[in-house]
Structure 1
């Protein structure tokens, strides 16, 4: 790949885009003559990783120290090997250790190329002669890195096409899916850039269909754009969408803020949880369409059908039960488990339905204390929304998987929701409370499986720390008389008492 730049500012922006594509283990070799721009490139990349749009971070040249380290979100080691006496000295400088958890930028790599990682990424920087600041950069590296870089450059092109080509990009977060988020900013202006490449279907898991299709998970950004626009039109606080590219999977949207429903100690703030429940009550008083349209593309909101319901619960027998038992779940255990859940699904499927957002809990709720009514609750995660039971999102927020919600607060919030719905008229409280118990148990069951899968398949053991909370929630839900048979199955297989630590 070759990139040409007519100014130092353009080279700096390219270095920023490179920095946004980096991950631990990347070793960048910066080769070029004196004055070619290696230090300019390195300085811009480091400041980007530091989230420093003003360029205030001191980034001295390591010409004499040979290496300069930066303890950032992604740790950086900046090497200058011009004065390296012998390639063997590279071991003493700690390159291997630097790449274990972070990235390395290496100027004058030709002084020790025989000792550099075989999968290093080469940036050859040359003056073009067309202008004093004209540069051409040739990049060669592993295909996996080149794909990341091309994605980052495509994001810059998207910003350019929508009037933000020179805005500073800053990593915001990546979640448990394939989505990632950045902030893009200039001065006091701040927006969110969603990076959501089309999710591959994956292998068939049942009836020739992959998991994502059975569970009705969004495979591109069309659902997010369609549902987000409709929520906003209905008066709810979904972020304004400034621009999107359905084919590439980019969305530029309003930054709703960073204030949530927890205090600094991650303790729930009751008044904000109450407002979240009020928002759901208002949402559930409306009729929601099954079909939406975005720029001529139709989108059908899926029903929370039996197959989606069951495949979510079976994450427990696919992942959690094998983890605690040390063996694959038996066919008999799975069969009884499925039969129990099918009976419970029939109950909730016969009840009241609405638009359910699916992940309505603390990480996805933004608080705006300056607003009034439902506008105080910002909604940011709804791309997997379905049409299903009104109890689903209520269970999701009242039994928050990431936060300990005391039983007293759970009861207060549940009573508040029921009172609001009763005031609206036509609300069957007894049926709702039964559906709540079933779906609270279903959601906790699903998440137990997901958190073990995140550890085993994706190498993310931190999620295991939430398991005791989910087991406690399950005990509460399974106490409902209608769930007695399911409670007996969970007790037989030790689901509620099993302790799980990270794999060794």
Structure 2
């Protein structure tokens, strides 16, 4: 990756003039990240978020809110919103997913820490002005499946009315419970966005799209990970840990909501990964589609998803599910 042309002047204004700029990462958005190394200041992370595509203000607002609650988001060292550049605290290289992939971390202990961090997050007050993760947003997201997934596999006659009706029948209770007790939902809380910090604890990344939503959403994002397999026994243990530590009394209702949130998120991701391929030329995400189907089918097995499961049974036969992506995945 080539650093943005304004990066040297930006770093000079931040007191980091002459720092070495090294490629670090990109993600599924237009954001790019670079590590900057300065002989006196040390290391930082340069976030390049082109303002014509990305608004960095939500990232800043949520980062500052998390920091105020004693949670570890990268501290913002310098900013230039017109240029779309932020200089951030560097959390290092110990991202949870690669650490676990190399068998260098205690998976159970790390996931327990991640669950406890969520409990702490949910105990904190909501940031001022946070938008709700309501039916309009949930519906817009789940529509990505019928907008991108099915057309990519050649399905033209899509029962959209039935799709809408199935979801509308499934989530009234969940929506009411969300409105009664909303929490901050980071929306991409999983092993690739968690950092093991030298000081101990977890650093949080990729939270700029946070909304006020249901407590199960980030939990299912963590435990039904699109990019890595989480053993069902560990998922069950961590889910129970969350329920106990959050003081949730109606376990059955929470588990139903957990599967509803899982279905919504996982069906949405099937659409997002397809869109990344068809619109943005990022076919590498297609290798995750079989895992996503395994998760979706587990979600749909819960009685709370009966209307949605029925729609999928009638409209998405096995030939359009996991096996359909083998020839496209890299």
Q: What's the TM-score, normalizing by structure 2?
A: 0.91
Is the contact made by 1:365 and 1:380 (CA closer than 8 Å) also made in structure 2?
yes
Measured against aligned partners, the alpha-carbon deviations of 1:41-88 in whole angstroms (never above 9, x if no partner) come to xxxxxxxxxxxxxxxxxxxxxxxxxxxxxxxxxxxxxxxxxxxxxxxx
- Compute the displacement of 1:264 (Å): 5.6
Q: What is the alpha-carbon distance in structure 1 between the residues aligned to residue 203 and residue 329 of structure 2?
A: 37
- Compute the displacement of 1:260 (Å): 2.5
The within-5 A match list for 1:98-247 is: 152-187=4-39, 189-200=42-53, 219-247=54-82
The within-5 A match list for 1:17-96 is: 20-21=2-3
What is residue 485 of structure 1 aligned with on the other side?
A: 307
* Residues 191 and 392 of structure 1, relative CA distance in 2, 3 Å threshold: same
- Compute the displacement of 1:427 (Å): 4.8
What is residue 455 of structure 1 aligned with on the other side?
A: 277
Q: What is the alpha-carbon distance in structure 2 between the residues aligned to residue 153 and residue 165 of structure 1?
A: 14
* Residues 160 and 309 of structure 1, relative CA distance in 2, 3 Å threshold: same
The within-5 A match list for 1:284-299 is: 284-289=122-127, 291=128
* Residues 198 and 427 of structure 1, relative CA distance in 2, 3 Å threshold: farther
What is residue 327 of structure 1 aligned with on the other side?
A: 155
Question: Could you tell me which of 334, 341, 359 is aligned with 2:188?
Answer: 359
- Compute the displacement of 1:265 (Å): 3.0
Q: What is the alpha-carbon distance in structure 2 between the residues aligned to residue 470 and residue 184 of structure 1?
A: 35
Uncovered stretches (5+) of structure 1, i.e. residues with no partner: 1-18, 22-151, 201-218, 292-299
The within-5 A match list for 1:406-421 is: 406-421=231-246
- Compute the displacement of 1:266 (Å): 5.8
Is residue 402 from structure 1 mapped to residue 240 from structure 2 by the alignment? no
The within-5 A match list for 1:418-497 is: 418-422=243-247, 427-492=249-314, 493-494=316-317, 496-497=321-322
Q: What is the alpha-carbon distance in structure 2 between the residues aligned to residue 224 and residue 365 of structure 1?
A: 16
Q: What is the alpha-carbon distance in structure 2 between the residues aligned to residue 265 and residue 230 of structure 1?
A: 31
Is the contact made by 1:178 and 1:199 (CA closer than 8 Å) also made in structure 2?
no
Q: What is the alpha-carbon distance in structure 1 between the residues aligned to residue 56 and residue 209 of structure 2?
A: 10
Q: What is the alpha-carbon distance in structure 2 between the residues aligned to residue 199 and residue 336 of structure 1?
A: 36
SS in 2 for 1:403: coil
- Compute the displacement of 1:497 (Å): 4.6
- Compute the displacement of 1:366 (Å): 0.5
Q: What is the alpha-carbon distance in structure 2 between the residues aligned to residue 238 and residue 264 of structure 1?
A: 21
- Compute the displacement of 1:245 (Å): 1.5
What is residue 83 of structure 2 aligned with on the other side?
A: 248
Instruction: Report which structure shows greater RCO (CA 8 Å, sep ≥6).
Output: 2
* Residues 323 and 498 of structure 1, relative CA distance in 2, 3 Å threshold: farther
Is the contact made by 2:132 and 2:211 (CA closer than 8 Å) also made in structure 1?
yes
Question: Could you tell me which of 188, 207, 212 is aligned with 1:382?
Answer: 207
- Compute the displacement of 1:370 (Å): 3.8
What is residue 345 of structure 1 aligned with on the other side?
A: 171
What is residue 53 of structure 1 aligned with on the other side?
A: none
* Residues 276 and 453 of structure 1, relative CA distance in 2, 3 Å threshold: same
Is the contact made by 1:239 and 1:253 (CA closer than 8 Å) also made in structure 2?
yes
- Compute the displacement of 1:166 (Å): 0.8
SS in 2 for 1:173: strand
Q: What is the alpha-carbon distance in structure 2 between the residues aligned to residue 161 and residue 258 of structure 1?
A: 26
SS in 2 for 1:358: coil
Measured against aligned partners, the alpha-carbon deviations of 1:418-444 in whole angstroms (never above 9, x if no partner) come to 11112xxx6543332221110101110
* Residues 427 and 232 of structure 1, relative CA distance in 2, 3 Å threshold: farther
Measured against aligned partners, the alpha-carbon deviations of 1:427-482 in whole angstroms (never above 9, x if no partner) come to 54333222111010111000001111111111111111101111111121111111
- Compute the displacement of 1:246 (Å): 2.2
Q: What is the alpha-carbon distance in structure 2 between the residues aligned to residue 388 and residue 310 of structure 1?
A: 14
Uncovered stretches (5+) of structure 2, i.e. residues with no partner: none
More helix by share: 2
Q: What is the alpha-carbon distance in structure 1 between the residues aligned to residue 11 and residue 324 of structure 2?
A: 47
- Compute the displacement of 1:484 (Å): 1.4
Question: Could you tell me which of 250, 258, 265 is aligned with 2:101?
Answer: 265
Aligned length: 319
Is the contact made by 2:100 and 2:107 (CA closer than 8 Å) also made in structure 1?
no
Q: What's the TM-score, normalizing by structure 1?
A: 0.60
